[in-house]
Amino acid sequence: MTAHLRGGESEGQGIGQALKGALKKESALPEQAKDKTVLVNKANQSKSPYVRAHSSNPVAWQIWGDEAIELAKKENRLFFTAARWRAYNYDAGCHIMERESFENEEVAAILNDAFIPVKVDREERPDIDRIYMNFVQATTGSGGWPLNVFLTPDLEPVFGGTYWPGPNNAIPFQDQVDFLGILNKLSTVWKEQEQRCRQDSVQILQQLKDFADEGTLSGRLGESTDAIDIELLEEATQHFADTFDKKNGGFGSAPKFPTPSKLAFLLRLGQFPQAVLDIVGLPECHNAETMAITTLRKMARGGIHDHIGNGFARYSVTANWSLPHFEKMLYDNAQLLHIYLDAFLLSRDPEFLGVVYDIATYLTTSLAHSEGGFFSSEDADSYYKKGDVEKREGAYYVWTKREFENILGPQAEPVLSAFFNVTSHGNVEPDNDPHDEFIDQNVLAIVNTPSAIASTLGIKEDEVIRTIKKGKAALQAHREKERVKPGLDDKIVVSWNGIAIGALSRTGAVIKGFDPERSETYMAAAIKAATFIKDKLYDENSKKLYRIWREGRGDTEGFADDYAFFIEGLIDLYEATFDDKWLHWADDLQKSQIELFYDSSNSGAFFSTPASAPHVILRLKDGMDSSEPSTNGTSASNLFRLSSLLNDDSYAQKAKETIKSFESEMLQYPWLFASFMPAVVASHLGVKGVVAYEGDGDKGVGKRVREFERTPRGGLGTFARLGGEGGKWLRERNGLLRGMVESGKTRILVCENGACREEEEVFFVDSGVGLEDDKVGSGGAKNEMLGMAGLREMLPNVGLKDDAGKGDANAGEKVQSQQQVMPDSRQAEKGKEN
């Protein structure tokens, strides 16, 4: 993206106009003052891999903090702040600006002399990124990365944008000067019109504060907190239907992002209580699920999915998911694990179970720290082979036709080329390759079915499936041996680890009856990660989280999203293990989040930063979904779940206040608040919780637990299990449960609205999944198929469409293709219909 040289609206245009005028004049480098500090590059002092990667730049990058800010004030220099993140290393703007400007000696000379240049890892300091991105969007009309902003010594924004061409860029940009020109003129304007710059910056900052307040002033504390109408869900659903790409899945046109929050809402809409279904309509709920299932299937078969290794890339450059931007992010894959798990539970399709295993394996291998916790991301670019001196985007993942021929041999190559759409001239369209980096290269995407390939090549389908499996293994072995893996951003971020902990906990619980080995692996990884966070990134005395670990704990205290996503993960971990130490910790963290971030004096909801945060000029509230769910939406759901589990009405009240705070925005644009919708429903209908005490025998407790574990997420229903010493803390915390164990008899209660009752039938929606461990059904072909899919026990109601496997001697191989290759042709046709 490019940014135009203009200021903000109304009075805020002053500095922009001054710059425009100055840019028309010639200007030399400012004379260096004799008493100026000579800057030295300090990037290698940072814990961030992204910041450290710039330690060899001629630009003398400083570290955001007291020292740099005090130096700017002492010498009255403008701050130049450049923010992005490591995995985004090959974006056209980020990478090119790095090469054109930050490695340029002339640019470095003026930056080091006239400014305080600071590199910021936006994953480490999302608060800084959000504040100044708001400024850039407000004053230029667009945003994106790289984010480049000039600040006064008091950190008020003066001028900003995204990509600016370097001094030797040969490509003309209309109405835009190069970065060197901007530096020259800004230094002149600051020297000659400093007071005007400061006045305009203060005015613009006030406008940003007013704008931020507009969306969160609808529900002042103490005023009515009537619940927002559930009809919002219907409006959001209709918007998604209007923007849905029926051909390719997803929403809108290229570039395509997975948008996990949207998919989660659509997938789970039909699992809400009947009152919601009556308002939205059953056909609309079915269509919502179809949109989600179609998108997930297209993504699973597309180039955005790493078919040779594991995991998903961050987004697709193309509308049909064929050409990814190749970086892989923890937060994307953790969210997608949740969603593909629900897709499996709803559809009973082993293809989705295969994707669940794929993502869970990626998290617990490629992104797993040996001591616990999960790393942040893998880079988009890498060296194609050992000894190369220049990195290329996607080099680790793309293939030529000749490589396929050499690795696979004459018999296997035609099969895998047909399966993955590999051609001699490559499968990347020239329009999608502006830098000619993918000439003759192929991004693997499943475009054909084993049955169709068998028919075309005149061989048996089971032979095709075996060939594809063997060929994939050969390609993976070659890739791991001959190519250089993309760089790893090995910092551990609390918020994203919370999402991963929750997803792995749920996955382990769902599959433990039929795949205990994998279940144990995933559950152990979740517990190990939670333990790592507690040991390394939690202060037991202050009850505070720290955001980052890399080679030791970072200095940055946790933000509201760290608490929100980690609390959610701990609740999921409790409901998977029923070890109430995790629930106890979630309760402690919830109290800390309220104390540090909750706006108790105004309109409710959670600020992103604590009041005590240093060097923060604007406290914002995260309401809308982005690549991650809304912090406040997630927090509202956490509060309702904890209120149900702990019988604490104060939590439910704060959840309602949080929802009410965003009412004005939510009423206008409900589709931007998809992650809020479960809490919106709970604010109307409450949350039902099941509590089971296993006293004198199981007596159905185990069955109720399995029903809960294997119910797709929809509403915010909770489950607590007591027995023996287990649940002792919970019985003390929840007054309703203190007398539950006195009789010593097994009891199952349903609790809601501060009261519990004996209940014979569990309230959870029957998903129809039918994953009871003890039912080894008849229908040998189907059971053989499940066995061949890698499932350890026979699961009669899992996943094959009604026509799959009937009297088919090759049924087992077909399901194996679903998990390890792709669905058979009938499944593919089903996907096309959707």
Lowest mean pLDDT among 641-645, 761-765, 784-788: 784-788
φ, ψ dihedrals at 119, nearest 5°: -95, 135
Of the segments 183-192, 220-229, 474-483, 787-796, which one has the largest average pLDDT value? Answer: 474-483
Give the mean model confidence (pLDDT) for residues 365-369.
97
Q: Do residues 374 and 496 touch, judged by C-beta distance below 8 A?
A: yes
The helix (H) or strand (E) run that includes residue 262 is helix 260-268
Rounded to 10°, the helix 580-597/560-577 angle is 160
Q: Do residues 657 and 222 touch, judged by C-beta distance below 8 A?
A: no
Residue 28 DSSP symbol: P
- Percent of the chain surpassing pLDDT 70: 82
pLDDT for residue 633 is more than 70: yes
Distance separating alpha carbons of residues 498 and 703, to the nearest angstrom: 28
Residue 356: CB partners within 8 Å, gap ≥ 6?
337, 340, 341, 344, 507, 511
Residue 584: CB partners within 8 Å, gap ≥ 6?
729, 730, 733
DSSP of 338-383: HHHHHHHHHH--HHHHHHHHHHHHHHHTTTB-TTS-B--EE-SEE-
**pLDDT tens-digit profile of 67-88?**
999 999 999 999 999 887 665 5
Distance separating alpha carbons of residues 461 and 453, to the nearest angstrom: 8
3-state SS of 686-730 is CCCEEEEECCCCCCCHHHHHHHHHCCCCCCCCEEEEEECCECHHH
Residue 221: CB partners within 8 Å, gap ≥ 6?
600, 601, 602, 603, 604, 657
φ, ψ dihedrals at 486, nearest 5°: -60, 155
Q: Quick one: which of 556, 615, 552, 563 has its CA closest to 589?
A: 563
Question: pLDDT higher for 520 or 828?
Answer: 520
Q: In this structure, how many other beta carbons lie within 10 angstroms of the beta carbon of residue 456?
A: 13
Give the mean model confidence (pLDDT) for residues 786-807.
30
Joined tokens for residue 285? 């709920």
pLDDT for residue 566 is more than 70: yes
pLDDT at residue 242, as a whole number: 97
Q: What is the sign, positive or negative, of the torsion defined by CA atoms of 186, 191, 196, 198?
A: positive
Where residue 695 falls among pLDDT bands split at 50, 70, 90? Answer: confident
Task: Please report, for residues 266, 293, 346, 613, 823, the alpha-carbon distance to residue 297 in angstroms, rounded to integers and kept in the order given.
Answer: 14, 6, 13, 43, 10
My answer on whether omega of the bond before 258 falls inside 30° of 0, hence cis, is no
Residue 439: CB partners within 8 Å, gap ≥ 6?
426, 433
Lowest mean pLDDT among 33-37, 212-216, 774-778: 774-778
Distance of CA 53 to the CA centre of its chain: 24
pLDDT for residue 832 is more than 50: no
Place of tokens 């923890």: 330
Lowest mean pLDDT among 100-114, 408-422, 490-504: 100-114
**pLDDT tens-digit profile of 6-27?**
333 333 344 555 554 544 444 4
Give the mean model confidence (pLDDT) for residues 385-405.
92
Residue 279: CB partners within 8 Å, gap ≥ 6?
230, 231, 233, 234
Distance separating alpha carbons of residues 359 and 353, to the nearest angstrom: 10
Distance separating alpha carbons of residues 834 and 828, to the nearest angstrom: 10
Where residue 488 falls among pLDDT bands split at 50, 70, 90? Answer: very high
Q: Quick one: which of 524, 646, 630 has its CA closest to 577?
A: 524
Rounded to 10°, the helix 825-833/450-457 angle is 120
Question: pLDDT higher for 783 or 364?
Answer: 364
**Could you tell me the maximum CA-CA distance found in the chain, to the nearest angstrom?**
89
- Percent of the chain surpassing pLDDT 90: 61
Check if CATH label 3.40.30.10 holds for domain 10-214. yes
Residue 454: CB partners within 8 Å, gap ≥ 6?
460, 461, 463, 464
Rounded to 10°, the helix 631-646/677-685 angle is 40
pLDDT at residue 724, as a whole number: 65
Joined tokens for residue 84? 């992005």
What is the chain's Cα-based Rg? Answer: 28
**pLDDT tens-digit profile of 305-320?**
999 999 999 999 999 9
Residue 445: CB partners within 8 Å, gap ≥ 6?
301, 302, 303, 305, 307, 321, 322, 420, 421, 427
Q: Quick one: which of 771, 777, 830 has its CA closest to 802?
A: 830
pLDDT for residue 63 is more than 90: yes
Compute, in degrees rounded to 10, the torsion defined by CA atoms 621, 625, 628, 632: 40
pLDDT for residue 737 is more than 50: yes
Beta pairing partners, 82: 119, 148
Task: Please report, for residues 60, 226, 308, 424, 457, the alpha-carbon distance to residue 412 in angstroms, rounded to integers and kept in the order given.
Answer: 53, 64, 15, 16, 11
Question: pLDDT higher for 66 or 16?
Answer: 66
Which amino acid, residue 609?
A: T
Give the mean model confidence (pLDDT) for residues 249-272.
95
Domain ranges of the chain: 10-214, 381-485, 780-833
pLDDT at residue 783, as a whole number: 33
pLDDT at residue 806, as a whole number: 32
Where residue 170 falls among pLDDT bands split at 50, 70, 90? Answer: low
Distance separating alpha carbons of residues 327 and 148, to the nearest angstrom: 22
Q: Quick one: which of 236, 195, 220, 213 has its CA closest to 134?
A: 213
Give the mean model confidence (pLDDT) for residues 683-702.
87
Burial classification of residue 783, based on how many CB atoms lie within 10 Å of its CB (0-12 exposed, 13-18 middle, 19 or more buried): buried
Where residue 95 falls among pLDDT bands split at 50, 70, 90? Answer: low
In whole numbers, what is the pLDDT of the chain averaged over residues? 84
Rounded to 10°, the helix 461-482/450-457 angle is 110
Of the segments 50-59, 210-219, 815-824, which one has the largest average pLDDT value? Answer: 50-59
pLDDT for residue 776 is more than 90: no
Distance separating alpha carbons of residues 93 and 100, to the nearest angstrom: 10
